Amino acid sequence: MVTIRSHMLTPFVEENLVSAAGGSISHQVSFSYFNAFNSLLNNMELVRKIYSILAGTRKDVEVTKEEFSQNAIRYGQVTPLEIDILYQLADLYNATGRLTLADIERIAPLAEGALPYNLAELQRQQSHGLGRSVWLQVAESAYRFTLGSVAGAVGATAVYPIDLVKTRMQNQRGTGSVVGELMYKNSFDCFKKVLRYEGFFGLYRGLIPQLIGVAPEKAIKLTVNDFVRDKFTKRDGSIPLFAEILAGGCAGGSQVIFTNPLEIVKIRLQVAGEITTGPRVSALNVLRDLGLFGLYKGAKACFLRDIPFSAIYFPVYAHCKLLLADENGRVGGANLLAAGAMAGVPAASLVTPADVIKTRLQVAARAGQTTYSGVIDCFRKILREEGPSAFWKGTAARVFRSSPQFGVTLVTYELLQRWFYVDFGGLKPSGSEPTPKSRIADLPPANPDHIGGYRLATATFAGIENKFGLYLPKFKSPSGPVAQSKPVAAAQ
């Protein structure tokens, strides 16, 4: 079969040929069994049709051998031995004695001997990477960590000016503060004033601590999210919605150990540029002033922001990817960018109040400014002094920062995987686009000028409605005139 009928074997059937041979312990194949095996592969479209009659529009119906045999009788092309082989192959994957559409897809050879991307990748991930050495798994983790760190740094750098504007708008007090505190009318006014008085590099004040913290933050967030999702993933690859939300929430909570110190240093550097007469503030000065425990000031508000954000973002992102996938389940780079941006809109906007509270708690209050003792105290004072609208300060800047940042990060991650691809024999990271397994190599190019191409076919079939004494509809070439010759009477 591998030598003369390899184009009819899917990866699953090829890997289980020995197990399926004869259906016996001796693994001996008779000529009748060989013929039935070949006939089954040739009749898989009919098998699919019989299954669709029993299952209707549903794809998860399990059909017993008796039900399938009764409906196969009316067609007469599927023999009892072929049905036995069909269910034997299905039981090699999941020994239930029943047939599902997924079993048919695993067995059925396609026109070009290639599985669609989603089925090929699912089979590869379920069967590949077993028994790998510990060192190979560690090397793969280091590889993913490195690419994720670079991608996270690129995403953070791309939108950092927006993040700085967001921070300054959220820190701007309305009342209960020093006179003349309202420095900015809106986000655009803030951006223009920073650029005018602090220069271009003022837009990137505090970027270095941000980049230092991006690597562990992204790594632990993605790792925890994937770990929890894997624990709740069903055999068919689906994940319940509550599990997606739980995985995202756990990922958001786990990153706070890195996010909070990063955020408090970044925020204090971002607002330091507002006072040009004071001493220059550096990251080392902030670390010295805060101390170890001071780095986790506002951690409760950070939990309040990051857990809901990830609980919203990751499920929305996963479903957006499904909606934007092509017919083979493949998601391109542009669609990944769109999915990341769309998921960031609700996630970033809905948690803005928690982000405002976190910013107020972590910023060093200047003389005359309102001070806060905790999350609840901050909430009450903002509500009393500035009103409910103050909780939504910087919403637009936060959305415009978070949405493209996650999109840019994922697209960069995918491109790095393409350019620096290394096969460690394990599961491919999220966002990769492996080439589907194909059994047809070196296909001729889609060029109309190559031998046997479209132009030669056009010349051959032009006027065919008048040839051989036939009377056929006129052949219309998309690029040439319609043949106008009159039909010839049929030959006697």
Q: What is the pLDDT of residues 405-452, one digit of tens each?
A: 887 877 787 778 768 877 666 555 444 444 444 443 444 445 555 555
Distance CA 36, CA 84 (A): 10
DSSP 201: G
**Amino acid in the structure at residue 339:** A
How buried is residue 475: exposed, middle or buried, by Cβ count under 10 Å (0-12/13-18/19+)?
middle
Per-residue pLDDT tens over the stretch 30-89: 778 888 888 888 888 788 888 888 887 777 788 888 888 888 887 777 888 888 888 888
Q: Alpha carbon 238 to chain centroid distance? A: 14
Up-side HSE of residue 170: CA atoms within 13 Å toward CB?
Answer: 28
Q: Are 112 and 434 in contact (CB under 8 A)?
A: no
Which pairing describes strands 63-64 and 98-99: parallel, antiparallel, or unpaired?
antiparallel
For the stretch 453-470, what's the b/e string if a residue is b when 16 or more beta carbons lie within 10 angstroms of its beta carbon?
A: eeeeeeeeebeebbeeee
Which of the pair, 344 or 326, is modelled with greater confidence?
Answer: 344
User: What average pLDDT does the structure give for the chain?
Assistant: 73
What percent of the chain shows pLDDT beyond 90?
A: 3
Distance CA 309, CA 259 (A): 13
DSSP 366: P
> What is the three-class DSSP state of 64?
strand
pTM of the model: 0.53
Distance CA 168, CA 189 (A): 11
Sign of CA dihedral 399, 404, 409, 413: positive
Sign of CA dihedral 67, 70, 71, 77: positive
Q: Could you tell me which of 460, 479, 266 has the C-alpha nearest to residue 359?
A: 266
DSSP 481: P
Average pLDDT over residues 252-268: 79
pLDDT computed for residue 267 by the predictor: 72
Q: What is the DSSP string of 236-266?
A: TS---HHHHHHHHHHHHHHTHHHHHHHHHHH
Average pLDDT over residues 187-194: 81
> What is the three-class DSSP state of 231?
helix
DSSP 23: T
pLDDT computed for residue 245 by the predictor: 93
Distance CA 375, CA 381 (A): 10
Domains and CATH numbers, the chain: 6-109 (1.10.238), 134-419 (1.50.40.10), 445-492 (no CATH)
pLDDT above 80: residue 264 = no
Q: What is the DSSP string of 271-330?
A: HHTT-SSSPPP-HHHHHHHHHHHHTTTTHHHHHHHHHHHHHHHHHHHHHHHHHH--TTS-
> What is the three-class DSSP state of 63?
strand
> What is the three-class DSSP state of 116?
coil
> What is the three-class DSSP state of 372?
coil
Sign of CA dihedral 131, 132, 135, 137: negative
pLDDT band for 7, please (50, 70, 90 cuts).
low
**Residue 350 tokens, joined:** 């809905």
Q: Could you tell me which of 349, 431, 412 has the C-alpha nearest to residue 155?
A: 412
Q: What are phi and psi of 63, to 5 degrees?
A: -110, 130
DSSP 394: T
Distance CA 167, CA 271 (A): 8
Q: Are 143 and 429 in contact (CB under 8 A)?
A: no
Q: What are phi and psi of 98, to 5 degrees?
A: -125, 160
The residue whose two tokens read 């010295």 is 288
pLDDT above 60: residue 472 = no
pLDDT above 70: residue 260 = yes
pLDDT computed for residue 489 by the predictor: 44
pLDDT computed for residue 237 by the predictor: 66
> What is the three-class DSSP state of 438?
coil
